[in-house]
A and B are shown apart, each in its own frame.
Chain A
Amino acid sequence: MVFKPVPPPISTVHAEPSLGESVFLSKLEPLINWGRRNSLWPFPFGTACCAIEFMGTVSSVFDLSRFGSELVRFSPRQADVIIIAGTVTYKQAPILRRIYEQMAEPKWVISAGACATSGGFYDCYCTVPGIDEIIPVDIYIAGCPPRPEAFIEGLIQLQAKIDVERTRDQKAVGA
């Protein structure tokens, strides 16, 4: 796996010496992105073995909470990022779509593993060939299933993506 170094956050935060270095100046956008990237609450849409790996990722050995993704929420209304870990069938597709629509903006999507990304490696009448047929995806994680390190790498990539987001590029709610 080629490790792509994470770009440093566009940090324009600095202490103002003329005010006794007790006041920090910044732009609003990096401040918002800084808050968002470091408190990504995930919603696990786990349907197959990828979800087992995700359980390992959030558990103590790999400890996803080191990266701010601390609280796994089982309600889409409280989550920022939905992690689709596993096979999504045609029968389940309307459910996934509805859960995604229940999430509040801003929201991100991580597609974990071969099944969620491409429908897996079998020709199957019942599997959606990639969940990006249904909902927009921000990060794809390779693997079958991906190891916990790959999950962490995916989350770091998503944080790097959030860092460079601009408020005026964000779509309206429900669009």
Chain B
Amino acid sequence: MSDEPKQVPANATAPAPTPNTAQAAAASVATGPASSSATSPSNATAPMVATAAMGPAHEPAKQGAAAAPPAATVAKPSANEAVQAASAWIPPKPIANDTAFALIKERFAVVERDPMDKWDLTLLCPAEQLRALITFMRRDAQLTIDMLLDISAIDYLSFPNHREARFAVVYLLKSLATNQRIKVKVRVEEEHAHLPTISDLFRIADWMEREAWDQIGIVFDGHPNLKRLLNHHEFVGHPLRKDYPCQKRQKLSVNDPMIDQLVLRLRQNGYTVLDDGGVEAPERLSAPGANPATGGRGQNDPTLQSAADGARAEPGGVL
């Protein structure tokens, strides 16, 4: 972050290193995009729009300085300064953990904070509230949790001084807009290792839940195709459980053709899978003159013509 005078490139039109260096230092000390307006106004104004649209997570102090006009004596911007101006954009900061927790606690009284939490906000949630909690966090305008990073399951069997349920499933969630990260931990009893699926809320959860079922043995109710993901389909047991004998040998013979996965994908795309294994294309693809590469639209389709003219074809209809 420190700016050294020798890093300023030699510029024939720059009279002395002093003014140039002062501006470059101001841009690199992260005072926001405003200070770099001397180099390129378009670079400086674009992040301002972004921060204003990101909601209340930001102090509005930066907006005042944005209008400073470029001085007439400033030399033309060098490549290095342009890079600095572009990198001066600071992503919006996440709201504080306490604020986020208060937001959630207001809606979900049963949700607790994990006392073992060290870094990010970790919520303890009962299984029946899980889907509602994740849906709320996803739709809330301040949290905007829109990404599922991972689902991991924990076996506390050999954990010292552990008195809670044997398993826990942890959902790692993130907001792409504010970089807020929230963990949701759900405790699962060994006798009833069931959780509701969230694969309809986040499609990536499909495989993550399959992995948690495969390795630890958590059943996700409502999952479209809950089968083993990593291990062979003839594998017996759940190998990441602490009581699985790791030197146990498995006898596996027939490979999985994974046709069921293909059938699911075909049905998602509108195909009809027949009993004899045949596949019927949807109507938009089986019509005469339909071109599968364009999602079933024929050559004389006006939307394709307009696309050829440079206009944007309407989305949708593509496999």
Q: Which of A's residues lie within 8 Å of B, judged by CB? A: 90-91, 93-95, 123-126, 129
Contact = CB atoms under 8 A, between A and B. Distances in A.
B235 interface: yes
B239 interface: yes
Contacts of A93: 252
A91 B252 contact: yes
Contacts of B255: 94-95
A70 B252 CA distance: 35
Given A94-B254, A123-B246, 19 more contacts: A90-B231, A90-B235, A90-B250, A90-B252, A91-B231, A91-B235, A91-B252, A93-B252, A94-B252, A94-B253, A94-B255, A95-B255, A124-B246, A125-B239, A125-B244, A125-B247, A125-B248, A126-B231, A126-B239
**Dominant secondary structure of chain A at its interface with chain B:** loop
Contact of A123 (B231, B235, B247, B250): B247
A90 B232 contact: yes
Nearest to B254: A94
15 contacts: A90-B231, A90-B235, A90-B250, A90-B252, A91-B235, A93-B252, A94-B252, A95-B255, A123-B246, A125-B244, A125-B246, A125-B247, A125-B248, A126-B239, A129-B249
A91 B232 contact: yes
Contacts of A95: 255
Interface core residue of A90, A91, A95 (most chain B CB under 10 Å): A91
A128 B246 CA distance: 12
Contacts of B249: 90, 129
A129 B246 CA distance: 12
Contacts of A94: 252-255
A93 B231 CA distance: 12
A169 B255 CA distance: 34
